Amino acid sequence: MFRGVRRVRRRSSKVSPRRSPSGKRGFRRKAVMSFFLPVLLRNLLKGPSTEAFPFGEAITPKKLRARISFDPDSCALCRVCARICPAGAIQFEKKPDGLEFNLWHNACVFCGLCALYCESEGLHSTNDWHLSHLQSEKYDLVERATVKFQKCTKCGKQKMPAPLPLMAKLYPGLPADEIERLRAMCPQCRKAETAPAEGEPS
Ligand code: SF4
Ligand code: SF4
């Protein structure tokens, strides 16, 4: 026991260069003073620099691809979105007066392909990522709307809707009232209306 005490004393009596103020300890003290103290003071004055979430709003990039939103008034019922969706998250169900659009957020992988391929601007990728839910609520997490069939104002037959963004792309340069008149017709009547007369340049 005595030997052990002597050894400890001998070691502690040595003046090690590592323990001198100009050695490692001194360097550490200097580092604390020059790097950490300014940060500490800045944080004390300005508040924490870490994200406030979940106690406050999280920073969300504007271009984040998250929840897909659907606008039934801009849907042409072409069903390209359902074909392109790699996750099979989009389905259409036949209803007596139209087609019901269903997008299962629970299955969506936020690839954004549906919004990219929708020529009619019926689908948009939003940056809303607040989709966490209980397992019991997974079947409620759906974007659902019925897009109704319409009647052609010329022949009276049932037709798919022709949304304004799509018609504006199909007939660039046409006045707004003419586009409105054409979009109320079925494709066959529209074709007959817009076909050039014999001898007229197309
Ligand atoms: S949302 Fe767009 S792609 Fe899907 S059916 Fe409607 S128009 Fe077509
Ligand atoms: S974002 Fe991708 S996975 Fe989600 S519904 Fe659209 S195509 Fe399907």
Whole-structure pTM value = 0.74
In DSSP terms, which residues pair with 101 in a beta bridge? 92, 145
Fold of 68-148: Alpha-Beta Plaits (3.30.70)
User: What pLDDT, in 10s, does the model give residues 30-87?
Assistant: 877 788 888 888 888 887 777 788 888 888 999 999 999 999 999 999 999 999 999 9
> CA torsion angle for 73, 77, 79, 81 (degrees, to 10)?
-10
What single string gives the DSSP state of each residue in 126-161? ---------GGGGGG-EEEEEEEPEE-TTT--EE--
* Rounded distance between C-alpha atoms, residue 147 and residue 123, angstroms: 13
User: What pLDDT, in 10s, does the model give residues 97-133?
Assistant: 999 999 999 999 999 999 999 999 999 999 999 998 8
Mean pLDDT of 136-152: 94
Greatest distance between any 2 Cα atoms in the chain = 121
* Rounded distance between C-alpha atoms, residue 190 and residue 194, angstroms: 6
- What does the block give as tokens for 151? 């009647």
Any ligand 2 atom below 6 A from CB of 118: no
114, 125, 128: residue to mutate for ligand 2 pocket, most atoms within 8 A of CB: 114
Residue nearest (by alpha carbon) to ligand 1 atom 6? 75
* Rounded distance between C-alpha atoms, residue 111 and residue 66, angstroms: 9
